């Protein structure tokens, strides 16, 4: 079992990587004397992960819980679903000492965290990610929320979990599209802050493409270390934490314009390709940086081009609703080298359109 800590003073919490048997006692300790509501989705339930968790809890003499199964998909990441979770919490008799548990990928994790943040003005929650994307990104850091028709994650709250635990056995049940989604975020960490990690990924694409369990455990821990370090230094994204949004400003816009048919990780990969193209045009980095990033993404079977017939003007317009913008201008995270980025405010729109056309 691997364990690390997100250091946030009295809001610090562990991230535990192993199988359920490794961390179930710790989970039960945190739930002792409290009622819990497990929130998951139909895909996770169908894969048998909910039943496995329920049996493990019962085997450790914890039975004061109920489970709620949601429909899967980004289209359900809405205020209506948050209300549905809150009503289920009332029906389950959750009080201010109770806990919500997200057994899920990123959508249900974000929704559960937001519901916990506002239910009875805030109760605790725990993240049990079941996808690579959730394990290395959304489950860590306390960002919770839901989408509006105008854009992704425009409503939400910072609400840190009490614990993040991953049963590595769940990853073996993922379809290929799902673990490749997560790989986009893994590559992001190498690009924004760790050139040695980037080189490790470059040198092990065969293990990544064949889903080598031991190697994946290693990259998950390193990704979580990267994010935990950034979050500890800027919990509420007042400054340096914004570097975690590399690839996301374009990515979220493209994702939204596809009506969420384009998976998040693939959208982020496209956003990273657009960002490095813009950085080259702005003389912030060399073409070699662009080539290295895009070669790795390509070898991992992730896209570096916008979907066919993309409307560049529509993408720029969608980017303007990004919550990271300020004073009406578009803010982007752009690379200066492999392992280094800078936050650029007031990006020139015409140059941005040129960059987007360069990845059509």
Are 119 and 94 in contact by the 8 Å Cβ rule? The answer is: yes
Are 100 and 112 in contact by the 8 Å Cβ rule? The answer is: yes
The kind and range of the H/E element at 337 are strand 332-337
Let me know if 11 is a catalytic residue: no
Let me know if 143 is a catalytic residue: yes
One of 49, 76, 143, 256 is an active-site residue; which one?
143
One of 61, 121, 150, 259 is an active-site residue; which one?
121
Residues with Cβ within 8 Å of 261's Cβ and at least 6 positions away in sequence, in order, are none
Let me know if 188 is a catalytic residue: no
Are 330 and 322 in contact by the 8 Å Cβ rule? The answer is: yes
Instruction: Round to whole Å and give the CA distance between 334 and 243.
Output: 9
Let me know if 320 is a catalytic residue: no
Instruction: Round to whole Å and give the CA distance between 189 and 137.
Output: 10
One of 241, 256, 266, 277 is an active-site residue; which one?
241
Determine how many CB atoms are found less than 10 A away from the CB of residue 300.
18
One of 77, 248, 266, 277 is an active-site residue; which one?
248
Are 158 and 235 in contact by the 8 Å Cβ rule? The answer is: yes
One of 43, 153, 245, 294 is an active-site residue; which one?
245
Instruction: Round to whole Å and give the CA distance between 54 and 101.
Output: 12
Length of the chain (residues): 360
Are 208 and 159 in contact by the 8 Å Cβ rule? The answer is: no
Max distance between CA atoms of the chain, in angstroms, equals 62
Let me know if 248 is a catalytic residue: yes
Tokens encoding 26: 């710790």
One of 222, 252, 266, 277 is an active-site residue; which one?
252
Let me know if 241 is a catalytic residue: yes
Let me know if 264 is a catalytic residue: yes
Let me know if 76 is a catalytic residue: no
Let me know if 227 is a catalytic residue: yes
Annotated catalytic sites, by residue? 121, 143, 185, 227, 237, 241, 245, 248, 252, 264
């Amino acid at each position: 079992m691997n364990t690390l800590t997100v250091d946030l003073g009295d809001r610090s919490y562990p991230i535990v990587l192993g199988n359920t048997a490794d961390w179930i006692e710790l989970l039960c300790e945190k739930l002792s004397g409290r009622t819990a509501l497990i929130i998951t989705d139909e895909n996770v339930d169908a894969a048998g992960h909910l039943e496995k968790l329920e049996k493990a809890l019962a085997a450790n003499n914890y039975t004061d819980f109920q489970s709620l199964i949601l429909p899967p998909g980004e289209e359900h990441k809405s205020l209506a679903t948050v209300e549905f979770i809150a009503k289920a919490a009332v029906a389950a008799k959750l009080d201010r000492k109770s806990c919500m548990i997200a057994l899920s990928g990123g959508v249900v994790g974000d929704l559960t965290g937001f519901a916990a943040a506002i239910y009875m003005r805030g109760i605790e929650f725990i993240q049990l990610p079941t996808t690579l994307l959730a394990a290395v990104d959304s489950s860590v850091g306390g960002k919770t929320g839901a989408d509006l028709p105008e854009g992704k994650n425009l409503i939400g709250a910072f609400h840190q979990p009490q614990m993040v635990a991953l049963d590595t056995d769940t990853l073996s049940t993922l379809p290929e599209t799902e673990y490749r989604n997560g790989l986009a975020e893994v590559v992001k960490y190498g690009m924004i802050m760790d050139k040695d990690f980037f080189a490790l990924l470059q040198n092990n694409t065969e293990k990544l493409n064949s889903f080598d369990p031991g190697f994946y455990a290693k990259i998950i821990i390193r990704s979580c270390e990267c994010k935990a370090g950034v979050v500890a230094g800027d919990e509420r994204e007042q400054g340096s934490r914004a570097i975690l949004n590399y690839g996301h400003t374009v990515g979220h816009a493209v994702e939204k314009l596809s009506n969420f048919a384009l998976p998040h990780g693939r959208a982020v990969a496209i956003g990273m390709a657009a960002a490095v193209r813009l950085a080259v045009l702005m003389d912030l980095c060399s073409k070699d940086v662009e080539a290295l990033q895009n070669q790795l993404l390509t070898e991992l079977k992730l896209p570096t081009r916008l979907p066919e017939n993309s409307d560049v003007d529509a993408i720029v317009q969608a980017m303007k609703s990004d919550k990271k913008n300020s004073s009406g201008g578009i803010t982007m995270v752009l690379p200066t080298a492999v392992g280094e980025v800078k936050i650029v405010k007031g990006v020139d729109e015409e140059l941005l359109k040129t960059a987007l056309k360069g990845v059509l």
